[in-house]
Structure formats: C-alpha cells, structure tokens
Amino acid sequence: MSPLARFDADDRKRAEAALRESEEQWKAVFENNPAMYFMVDAAGSILSVNPFGAEQLGYSVEELIGWPVRNVFHEADRDAVQRNAAICFERPGQALRWELRKVRKGGEVIWVRETARATLIKNRPVLLIVCEDITEGKRAAEALREVQTELAHANRVAALGQLTASIAHEVNQPVAGVLSSAHAALRWIDQPDLEAARCALQRVIRDATRAADVIRGLRALVDKVPPRTESFDINEAIREVIDLTHGEAAKNGVSVEAQLAKGLPLIQGDRVQLQQVVLNLVINAIEAMTEPGDRPRDLMITTTTAEPDAVRVALQDTGPGLDASDPERLFEAFYTTKPGGLGIGLSICRSIVEAHGGQLSAAANTPQGSIFQFTIHTAGNRS
C-alpha cells in the first residue's frame, strides 16, 4: 500500500471514529437527559422520544413512537398544539415557546413548557421539541392567586366595615322617603287627588330604587366571587362607589366632586376588584383630610382617556400630602402611616391594577394634598 493510500485510510478511520464518538455522545445526551425530548414529523406523528420523556408520561418509548403527538395533550389544548406546530413549520429555524397541558397514561394532567423548532433532517421537515414539567410551579401560582383573592376580599370587607354607619344612613334615607311618600299617596287617594297620589307613588319608586341600588352595590363588593373579566363602564362603577361613600364624606365634611369624561370606551376587567381600588382610595383620601387643620377638604375624581388604548382614573385630595422622598413606600405590604392600620390596602390595590395590565402611582398634589391615579386597558386592548 502506498504511503498516500495508507494516509487516506488512516484519515478515514479517524473520521469514522470521531463520527461514532459524536453519535454516542448525542445518544447519551438524548437518552439520559432529565428533560423530555420529542421529534415530530409534519403529519404530527412522534418519530422519537427519549426514555425520560416517555417515562414522565407513563409510557414506554415503543408505545409512543408513531402516535399522533396531539394524543398526549389535554383535549382542550389539542387544537393549540396543531396551530403551534403549523406556525413552527412555517418559520423553520425559529424557536417558539408555549405552555400547555399533557395527560399521563393514568389520566393525571401535567403542565409543560415546550420549546420547539422546525428543521430538516435528510430533507424531511421535522419538529424538535424540548419539554419541561412546570406543574408544581402552576400549582404554586394558583395557590398564590387564591391567597391574594382571600386577602383582597378581607380588605374589601374591612373597608366596608368602616362605612357601616354611613351605608346604614344611605339606606335609611330612601326607606324613610318610601314610607313618607306611601302615606301621602294613601291620603291623596282618600281625598281623592289622583295626580298628587301619582307623584307620591313616583317618589316611592325613586326612593325604593335608590335603596336597592345601594344594597346591590354593597352586596357586589362583599360577596366572595371568583374574579371575572367583563366589559363595563368605568364611570358608572365609580359613581356607585361615590354613592356608597357619600355618607362618610358628608360626615367628615369632605366635598366630593366627579369630573368623568363622556364617551369613554368600555373597560376590560373585573368590575368588583376595580371598584375595590376606587373604594380604598376614596376612604384613604377622606381619612387623610379628617386630620386637624383649616385646610379645605376637597376630593376630585376624574376620568380621562390615556394612550395607548387605556383610561386613566385620578383622585386628587387636599390632605396633608405624601412623603415626597419616597412615595413608593406607600405600596409596600404592611407599611402604614395610620395608627392601627394593617398596611395592605394600597399594596392590594396595586396588585389588582397590575393584574389588569395597568399602573397605580402616587404623587404630590398642587398646592397641597396628593394624587393617586391608575390606568386600565379598554375592552379589546388588554395586554
């Protein structure tokens, strides 16, 4: 054998050895890695799965090979699986991520975070998928949401507890009006004066409706209901809170004025939770202005449009104002400037607003007092 031929043979042997070593390393990574690996073809069939991935789903590798990949997903997520795969094949080389539910062989549902990328192997389009089990994280997040909901409800009940006497007054007034107008109607019927009786009965309807509105608003805020997303008029929601707190404001000599922009788009979110934010801010403003002093006691509530696709709600008071050096401390949990306060109201308010994709901030008012304002996305534009 010539030296050149011998060199070529040795070079080929080294290349083959390197290839075998590379294949063995890849096989070791594929079979022993504590992550779920799947390879899926364009028709959605599983071409390969590593032992860990099969084990996590309660199957053997052999059971999964050739199966439609959508079959290992929760029925409600199967359409999303097909859409995601189609997008990947439309964008070869681009990694995409999503979170969906898979179902183990025994029926247990697990959450996974998948990263997928389409590529060509031997001129055949395939989807390479890496899965991570995030079930525990999802459960922890759900538990945290439940705790936050409980805390928010407790805070809402506590806030309304402060208004008990005022709310009773708000209900008693129209009820007293109903009784007075009903007696008057009876007298006018006996007279008879049907026109006067009709006017008295109209006052009965008006006052009864007013009392029912107060009670309805109160029940909505007190009832422990799961968060719900709906489209609603923020101005109407604010007016209901103003009605609930009217007695408390009057008792403390606080003048409440509302300048609510007309024609605002509907808000997208949980009406009760956002009313809780306004309720907390109104109560805080009233309490701040009850401190001794000759300053005016005015609360202005305004709504305006905010860009992009949002509405801004602002409450301006003439109280003692904020600590200008660090207004953000007000939103820290358990920080309070009130004697006997828990320091959770503003923290909960910020959590609610941020959960709606908005922002809640505080600043000094001019010439005195403070401004609390938050933004909320309009219906169809929540991010």
Domain limits, the chain: 33-133, 141-377
Residues 6+ apart with CB under 8 A from 168: none
Please give the sequence-ordered ranges of beta strands (E in DSSP) within 227-288, or none if there are none.
230-232, 255-260, 267-269
- The continuous run of DSSP H or E covering 137 comes out as helix 135-162
Least confident window among 54-58, 119-123, 167-171, 251-255: 167-171
| CA-to-CA separations, 204 to 189, 198, 217, in angstroms, rounded | 15, 10, 20
pLDDT of residue 99: 92
CATH topology of domain 33-133: Beta-Lactamase (3.30.450)
Q: What is the pLDDT of residues 340-383, one digit of tens each?
A: 444 567 777 888 888 888 888 888 887 788 889 999 988 766 54
> Tell me: the pLDDT tens digits for 262-310?
989 998 888 888 888 888 888 888 888 887 667 788 999 999 998 778 8
pLDDT at 84: 92
Phi/psi at 203 (nearest 5 deg)? -65, -35
- Phi-psi domain of 102 (left: phi exceeds 0; alpha: psi -120 through 50; beta: other): beta
Whether 112 and 56 have beta carbons less than 8 Å apart is answered as no
- Please report which confidence band the pLDDT of residue 68 belongs to, taking 50, 70 and 90 as the band edges: very high
Residues 6 or more apart whose Cβ sits within 8 Å of residue 304: 261, 311, 312, 314
194-222 vs 234-251: helix crossing angle, rounded to 10:
100
H or E element: which one contains 124?
strand 124-133
Question: How far apart are the C-alpha atoms of 141 and 145, rounded to whole Å?
Answer: 6
The CATH superfamily holding the domain 141-377 is: Histidine kinase-like ATPase, C-terminal domain (3.30.565.10)
pLDDT higher for 177 or 23?
177
C-alpha angle with apex 236: 357 to 306, nearest 5 degrees? Answer: 40
d(CA 84, CA 64): 20
pLDDT-derived band at 333, boundaries 50, 70, 90: low
Q: What is the average pLDDT value for the chain, to the nearest integer?
A: 79
**Mean pLDDT along residues 146-157:** 68
For 43-68, give the DSSP string.
TSBEEEE-HHHHHHTT--HHHHTTSB
Residue 342 is predicted with a pLDDT of 46
For the full predicted model, state whether its pTM sits above 0.85.
no
Q: Report angle CA 97, 148, 141 to the nearest 5 degrees.
A: 25
Res. 315: pLDDT tops 80: yes
Rounded average pLDDT over 318-335: 66
For the record, the structure tokens of 143 come out as: 């538990």
Q: Report d(CA 188, CA 382) in Å as an integer.
A: 56
Neighbouring C-beta atoms of residue 246, cutoff 10 Å: 19
pLDDT of 330 > 80? The answer is no
Give the strand pairing for 124-133 and 36-41.
Answer: antiparallel
pLDDT at 318 over 60: yes
Q: What are phi and psi of 320, to 5 degrees?
A: -70, -10
Q: What pLDDT, in 10s, does the model give residues 23-57?
A: 555 555 556 656 788 889 999 999 988 888 888 89
Report pLDDT digits (tens) over 81-97: 999 999 999 999 899 99
3-state secondary structure of 109: strand
Structure tokens belonging to residue 259: 């300048």
Which tokens go with 37?
A: 């690996």
Amino acid at 247: G
Please provide the DSSP assignment of 196-242 as one string: HHHHHHHHHHHHHHHHHHHHHHHHHHHS------EEE-HHHHHHHHH
356, 270 Cβ separation under 8 angstroms: yes
pLDDT number for residue 173: 65
